[in-house]
Structure 1
Amino acid sequence: MRLLSLTLQNFRSYPTLRFPCSGGMHLLVGPNGAGKTNVLEAIALLGLGRSCRGVRMAHLGHWGSSFFRVRGDGKSDHSRETSVEVVFESQPSRMAYFLRDGQVPLRKFLGRFPVAIFLPDDLHLFRGSPQLRRRFLNRILTQVCPWYLPQLLKYRHVLNQRNGLLKHVPLPSAAEFLPWEQKLAHLGSSITLARLEFLETLQLTFLRELTSIGLLWSDVLFRYMRATVSRDAFALEQEYLSLLQASRARDILLRSTTTGVHREDWRIEVQGRDLVTFASRGEQRLVFLALLLLAAAYLELRRLEKPVVLLDDLFSELDIEHQQILLQMLSSFQVFITATRVPQDAPGELWQVESGRVVVGDRACSVP
């Protein structure tokens, strides 16, 4: 997939903006706060259907505006022209998704414009909180499984309902808990199985990818950490239900649901040891770069389209050697990179980002 042009209206710091895109590397350079990340967030919105930074839709609009619009015109890897568009209105609050100018439900919109986005927090993926690692899985799976995001949102809604019961005075009966626990078990089982399949697919070529960037390790494993063991959907659902019922007394004391996919985690092990304790910081960065490319390749495998790769301020965390490795790894993708200064020997098109506009060469891109 190649983005040919991007149009923003009342999005973040851009009242209006429209600019063409080339097929290769794009460097968005400017000071902090200039609006570089806002451009990446807009592109990511076209693939994820929501903010890649976890921001509510109502907070993405330009200050004082009642709506925003993000549109991308592009061409598929099979040379088919296409367009994707997201529109939000605040009164009443509603979202609308469009493919080739026809409105579609979210489930049909997701993944039609695949994006692989990596934020500064992702470099702390291995040392950071489990929430970071779950977010990494969710960003990819949202685009390859049409049901994944709706299922995940339903799971969060049901989880909030059960947590509400746990805090209720007087305490509800077991019969009142059971319907919510059954729903959590049903929704959670499919989410877990999708995550397992994704990690197992990455596992197939992960060692080879590590070797190609100079990490000559053996016995490298993705481990998904969960309280369950089943791989059959029905058996896993029953296992989750049993765990929820068994933990109910503890959950009442803590006033929170302590078991389920919202508590699960994953890690990389090298020769039986957690990557965080086995590898140096420099080696962990190399592992992250390998994971970055594998995630992009997985999207291409499942969507039959190369994703657009979005890298937010990644160069500030990498030395020159690692920057060159990254650029070489991504040479076959359309890439948008933000930076506060021009990286050494960086190829591609340079865009200067200033407050409310993007300047390509000496030409400012905007909508009248």
Structure 2
Amino acid sequence: MLRLSGVGLRLTRLTLSDFRNYPHLAWHPGGAAGARIAAIFGPNGGGKTNLLEAISLLGAGRGLRRARRADLARREGAGGFAVAGRFVGSEGEFSVATGVPAPATPAAEPRRIFRLDGAALQSQGDIAARVALAWLTPPMERLFQETAGGRRRFLDRLVAALEAAHGGELAAHERALAARMRLLRTHGADPAWLAAIEDAIARHAVAVSAARGAVLRRLNQALATVTPDGFPPARADLLCPIAARLAQAPALAVEEWLRARLREGRSADRASGQNGVGAHRADFTLHDAARNLPAAQASTGEQKALLIGVILGHAALVARVRGFAPILLLDEPMVHLDARRRAALVAALAALPAQIILTGTDREPFLPLADAATGWHCGGGGLIADPGFLPAADARGAAAPLPL
């Protein structure tokens, strides 16, 4: 049975203004009892995933849908939106807010703003140091039938939850790759300038690859001991020539090797319009470790079970390393699971000290959690508390729009 330790991170209040289908909303997920689990159910299109997306925006990154800023604002609104959360962590209470002000003109596209305890932030790193989130959504079930880019993003979210600097290294690596390609397209570009950019690529690529490899090694150790009962044991493997060299040589030697590869590949990369080497070429695989079966060859239900095992195992690892478990956002987690695994998942969730917010179309699969969770009917831009779960007040509308 899965067990976590450490002080949990809790979202105690979520407030929305003009976000997706919510004009205004003030919601206390834990209700009067401060429950760790909130189960949200209702018809498709009611706004269940929108709530999870709003919470995901309170962490570092672009959220669980990676949506454009313009798509997050309510269609009938003025063009801006705001999301705010009040959290309790190991160091006490704090608030995070994000959003986009309504544009001054139709052509304007204001930047997304972040605030921590009311103070404006220039970097998301300060948020990453306070808030850890993990999520599972239905599109992720196709992770191993789609492109390597989606798998890298999934992996990098796992890494960033443990290494707060990882997002910054990734962003710097991407900026350096883009700068190199611009220079390669410029005839007569200064070789010294190009060499400096390639040096930056090498340094950031080695840092990113080392972090990915280290987290996957620790994750595999966690998965070997904390996989929920009835779920297949998962094993993750990094496919990356940089990480492979790091296993055999010091980081400085790998940086020099990568700089040489970049120099040698300039003509080919100019012709192809792509950077041929770097951390952006990595991939990873997931196996059912008991059968050595790749996830890509497993059934839909087995893939879902493997991913759930990874998310819960990663939560255990985060709790062990950072002292608090991440908030888990599970969108339709029961779909594609058989009755035995649904029961095992309910037991695992009930045992977690982490805060968990999960969704589904039907109420019945969540009833075994009724003594440990608040239950919410979702629709019409609000949430109605279900009396069959722990006590909670309805959440329909905030008194006023959130200021940014």
1:222 to 227, 233, 236: 236
1:121 aligns with 2:139: yes
Contact 1:48–1:143 (CA<8 Å) still a contact in 2?
A: no
Q: 1:367 and 1:311 mapped to 2: Cα distance?
A: 25
In structure 2, give the amino acid aligned to 1:207.
A
Say which SS state the counterpart of residue 31 (structure 1) adopts: coil
Could you say which residue in structure 2 is the equivalent of 1:41?
A: 53
3-state secondary structure, aligned to 2:144: coil
Q: Which residue of 1 aligns with 2:325?
A: 306
Residue 124 of structure 2 aligns to which amino acid in structure 1? L
What is aligned with 1:337?
358
AA of the residue aligned to 1:356:
G
List aligned pairs for 1:87-236, cutoff 5 A.
Answer: 87-89=99-101, 90=103, 93-104=110-121, 105-166=123-184, 168=185, 170=187, 172=189, 174-175=191-192, 177-210=194-227, 212-213=229-230, 215=232, 221-228=235-242, 229-231=245-247, 232-236=250-254
Determine which of 380, 387, 397 is the counterpart of 1:366. 397
Q: By how many angstroms is 1:277 displaced?
A: 6.6
2:24 is matched by which residue type in structure 1? T
Mark the CA change 1:242 to 1:272 in structure 2 (over 3 Å): closer, same or farther: farther
**Residue type of the alignment partner of 2:359:** T
Question: Within 1, Cα distance between the matches of 2:375 and 2:64?
Answer: 24
5 Å-filtered alignment, 1:65-104, equals: 65-76=78-89, 80-89=92-101, 90=103, 93-104=110-121
Distance 1:367 1:113 in 2: 24
For the residues of structure 2 that align with 1:164 and 1:308, how far apart are their CA atoms? 40
Distance 1:171 1:340 in 2: 60
2:375: which partner in 1? 350
- Cα distance per residue 1:215-269 (max 9 Å; x no partner): 4x7xx75321112312533222222222222332322232111221111011135
Contact 1:49–1:109 under 8 Å retained in 2: no
**Inter-CA distance 221–359: structure 2 relative to 1 (3 Å threshold):** closer
Q: How big is the shift at 1:86?
A: 1.9
Higher mean displacement: 271-280 or 202-211: 271-280
**Distance in 1 between residues matched to 2:60 and 2:314, nearest whole Å:** 15
8 Å Cα contact 1:50-1:57 kept in structure 2:
no
For residues 76-95 of structure 1, give each alpha carbon's deviation from its aligned partner in whole angstroms, at most 9, with x where no partner exists: 257x3332222433557234
CA apart distance, 1:47: 1.9
> In structure 2, how many angstroms separate the alpha carbons of the residues matched to 1:142 and 1:277?
25
User: Higher relative CO (CA 8 A, sep ≥ 6), structure 1 or 2?
Assistant: 2
Check whether the contact 1:6–1:73 (CA below 8 A) recurs between aligned residues: yes
Q: How many angstroms does 1:354 deviate by?
A: 1.2
Shift of the alpha carbon at 1:279?
A: 4.9
Between the aligned partners of 1:319 and 1:245, the Cα distance in structure 2 is: 53
Tell me the secondary structure at the aligned position of residue 93 of structure 1: coil
More strand by share: 1
The answer to whether the 8 Å contact 1:358/1:366 transfers is no
CA distance in 1, matches of 2:37, 2:146: 29
- Report the identity percentage: 26
Listed one character per residue, the Cα deviations across residues 63-87 of structure 1 (whole Å, up to 9, x for unaligned) are 3434322111132257x33322224
CA 1:35 to 1:159, structure 2 compared with 1: closer, same or farther past 3 Å? same
1:349 Cα deviation after fit? 2.2
Q: Where do 1:265-284 residues align within 5 Å?
A: 265-269=283-287, 270=289, 275-276=294-295, 279-284=298-303
Does 1:50 find its partner at 2:62? yes
Separation (CA, whole Å) in 1 of partners of 2:290 and 2:341:
24
| TM-score calculated relative to the size of structure 1 | 0.87
Q: Secondary structure at the match of 1:239?
A: helix
2:6 aligned residue:
none
What secondary structure, in the 3-state scheme, does the structure 1 residue paired with 2:237 have? strand
1:24 corresponds in structure 2 to 36
1:274 CA displacement: 5.6
In 2: Cα distance, 1:66 partner to 1:172 partner: 42
- RMSD over aligned Cα, in angstroms? 2.8
Q: How many residues of Structure 1 are paired with residues of Structure 2 in the alignment?
A: 363
Structure 2, gaps ≥5 residues long: 1-8, 388-393, 400-404
> What's the offset of the Cα at 1:192?
0.8
Per the alignment, do residues 250 and 303 of structure 1 end up closer, same or farther by CA in structure 2, a change over 3 Å counting? same
Q: Call closer, same or farther: CA 1:85–1:170 in 2, change over 3 Å.
A: same
Does the aligned pair in 1 maintain the 2:199–2:259 contact within 8 Å? yes
Give CA-to-partner distance per residue, 1:24-54, whole Å, 9 cap, x none: 3222222222211111011111122432211
- Residues 1:260 and 1:208: Cα distance change in structure 2 (over 3 Å): same
Report if the CA contact (8 A) 1:84-1:113 is conserved. no
Q: Greater shift after overlay, 250-259 or 204-213?
A: 204-213
TM-score calculated relative to the size of structure 2: 0.80
Q: Which residue of 1 aligns with 2:390?
A: none
